[in-house]
Amino acid sequence: MAEDKNKVMTPDDLVAAKFQIQKLYAKDVSFECPNAPQIFQETGQADVKMSLAQRVEDLGENLHEVVLTVTVTATIDEKTAYLVEVAQAGIFMLSGFTEQAAHAVMNTMCPSTLFPYARSVISDMVSDGGFPPLMLQPVNFEQLYAQRMQEMEQQRSGEQSAKQSGEAVVEQGNGEAVEVEAPTDN
């Protein structure tokens, strides 16, 4: 089993690997405008922040539910203008991938597939909420995944060094939530 986990896929393996979208759906959507109607009297540029979180559930028979949660918070003068959260989900079939390749696909291809749908819902909700249109720029999930894997590897290396030197090591969480500055076109 450990051999399969670390096996590098050959071109023949890639031909046998299958990735299929079975279903895409909005699992949960929320729009809050806690300071309305006073917030519409405020002047100034809104500070927009976006965070991403992802959850994967194995459904059996090579099926996986991937849920990408996108949260956007806009503030004007430290007052929340709006908060939008969309949990965009999909059921994906992955077969013929090594464990390592399947992990990469679920953390890159799946969220890359889901994000445009979440972005569209967020844009509509912000506009329908009485605010100027919000255009979230694409997210490079491959780059985020590579950074996360590099950080995990550095953390493991640090733990090994700390164990060898006798230092205390504090375990950190999985790090599935990623804060990113939301590039927007307003």
Nearest to 90 by CA among 80, 105, 75: 105
Whole-structure pTM value: 0.78
168: confidence class by pLDDT, cuts 50, 70, 90: very low
- Cβ-based burial of 41 (10 A; exposed 0-12, middle 13-18, buried ≥19): exposed
Nearest to 105 by CA among 29, 179, 178, 54: 54
Q: Which residue has the tokens 């300071």?
A: 35
Q: Does any domain span residue 54?
A: yes
Both tokens assigned to 116: 């445009």
Q: Does any domain span residue 140?
A: yes
Nearest to 70 by CA among 113, 25, 114, 33: 114
Residue 28 has pLDDT above 70, yes or no: yes
Q: Does any domain span residue 173?
A: no
Q: How many residues does the chain have?
A: 186
Q: Is the dihedral of CA 161, 164, 168, 169 positive or negative?
A: positive
What per-residue confidence (pLDDT) applies to 176? 38
Both tokens assigned to 139: 């997210």
What per-residue confidence (pLDDT) applies to 103? 94
Q: Does any domain span residue 104?
A: yes
Across 49-58, average pLDDT: 96
Q: Does any domain span residue 26?
A: yes
What per-residue confidence (pLDDT) applies to 156? 85
Nearest to 19 by CA among 137, 105, 128: 105
What per-residue confidence (pLDDT) applies to 9? 53
| Total domains, the chain | 1
Q: Does any domain span residue 125?
A: yes
Q: Does any domain span residue 169?
A: no
Q: Which residue has the tokens 């950080």?
A: 151
44: confidence class by pLDDT, cuts 50, 70, 90: confident
Nearest to 76 by CA among 34, 36, 44, 112: 44
Distances (CA, A) of 120 to 52, 134, 155, 173, 179: 15, 9, 36, 30, 20
Amino acid (one-letter) located at 137: Q
**Average pLDDT for the chain:** 84
Residue 157 has pLDDT above 60, yes or no: yes
Q: Does any domain span residue 174?
A: no
pLDDT tens-digit series, residues 59-91: 999 999 999 999 999 999 999 999 999 999 999
Amino acid (one-letter) located at 1: M
Query: Residue 105: which domain range?
Result: 2-164
CATH classification of the domain holding 160: 3.10.420.10
Nearest to 66 by CA among 47, 89, 41, 46: 89
d(CA 142, CA 39): 37
167: confidence class by pLDDT, cuts 50, 70, 90: very low
